[in-house]
Amino acid sequence: MTAIGRRPAWLSFGIYAVLTVTSLVILYPLAFMLLATFTSTERYYQTAFFPIPDTFDLHNYTAILTDCSQGCITYSIGLTAVRAVWYIGWAMLVSVLGGYVFARLTFPLKNALFLFFLTGLMVPPLLTTLPLYIMLARFPLVGENDVWGQGGHGFVNDWPALGIVGLVNVIALFLVKQNYEMIPGDYEEAARVDGAGTLRAIFQIYLPMLKPVLTAVAILEFVAVWNDYLWPLIIVGGNKDITPVALTVQRLIYAYTQRQAETVADFPLIFAAATLMSVPTILVYLGLQRYFVQGLVGVGIKG
């Protein structure tokens, strides 16, 4: 990209050397994890720095996938997939319609209102888990609660708790609005002349042009939902029937680690669970990373 003149050979060599060595360090735990899943337990305990695979089959993975001790993991995967679709759908709907409203329409207090939404970025989600938990637990008239939110369990350990918090994604709204503003208004005017209404202009004219940023939004949302751990732990931790995948895998790993009281821990099995958990987000990221980097650059950090 920049290439500030020609590099002397020693510098090129240095850059490649540093990058290669540091990349290997970053990759080491992941490579270790992957290789270990194809190593027998006995063999694993003989190796120090790198497990040398000797069983090239998927028995560790099938063992994980059929383990229902912490709630069936295949069910958790399905549940998380549905949850991801639900959250991605909302993020897109809100940001496509909201982005249009804030980028194209004019109404009183528009900028003030948008700035108010942006303040949502300042509130760290991790720290509002506690009051949100209490709000959902004391929600009036659900889960045997009375009008004052007393007496029952509210939404706690119930499936709606996994789908009502965090549906408005402010970052997505911000990114999509930025992208609307980069599209010239001529397209919409031309469509209007041809008799298209607002919704039609949004979905037929703008939507195709918003594809890169919406893909970025979808990736961010998928990774967030797939890895979501603390909120499910708090809000549905007591109900094994509806645990999302991150929680189930974490519990499996914990259970496998504790087993070492009776025998040695089956680390290849533990690694298989962690790999299974990591593969989907890695694949999604690898497949769509072109849009992802574009989307991040679109944040437009201006001094």
Q: Which of residues 185-244 bind another protein (CB under 8 A)?
A: 223, 226-227, 229-230, 234
Task: Find the binding residues for another protein in span 25-44 (CB under 8 A).
Answer: 26-27, 29-30, 32-33
Task: Find the binding residues for another protein in span 247-286 (CB under 8 A).
Answer: 249-250, 253-254, 257, 267, 270-271, 273-274, 277-278, 281-282, 284-286
- Cβ nearer to another protein, comparing 68 with 134: 134
- Cβ nearer to another protein, comparing 125 with 190: 125
Neighbours of 60 (CB within 10 A): 24
Alpha-carbon span 224 to 112, nearest angstrom: 29
- Which residues, in sequence order, are CB contacts of 270 under 8 Å at separation 6+? 253, 256, 257
- Among the listed ranges 22-30, 58-66, 75-83, 209-217, the one in contact with another protein (CB under 8 A) is 22-30
Neighbours of 79 (CB within 10 A): 21
Smallest Cα–Cα separation from 212: which of 89, 101, 220?
220
- Among the listed ranges 65-73, 74-82, 122-130, 205-213, the one in contact with another protein (CB under 8 A) is 122-130
Give the Å distances, CA to CA, from 278 to 111, 183, 245, 246: 40, 36, 11, 10
Indicate the angle between helix axes 110-118 and 170-182, nearest 10 degrees. Answer: 130
- Cβ nearer to another protein, comparing 78 with 190: 78
What minimum distance in Å lies between the beta carbon of 126 and another protein?
A: 5
- Among the listed ranges 53-61, 158-166, 193-201, 209-217, the one in contact with another protein (CB under 8 A) is 158-166
Task: Find the binding residues for another protein in span 51-90 (CB under 8 A).
Answer: none
Q: In Å, how far from its chain's centre is CA 214?
A: 14
Alpha-carbon span 149 to 208, nearest angstrom: 45
Alpha-carbon span 62 to 296, nearest angstrom: 37
Query: Which residue among 63, 132, 196, 205 contacts another protein (CB under 8 A)?
Result: 132
What minimum distance in Å lies between the beta carbon of 274 and another protein?
A: 5
- Cβ nearer to another protein, comparing 119 with 193: 119
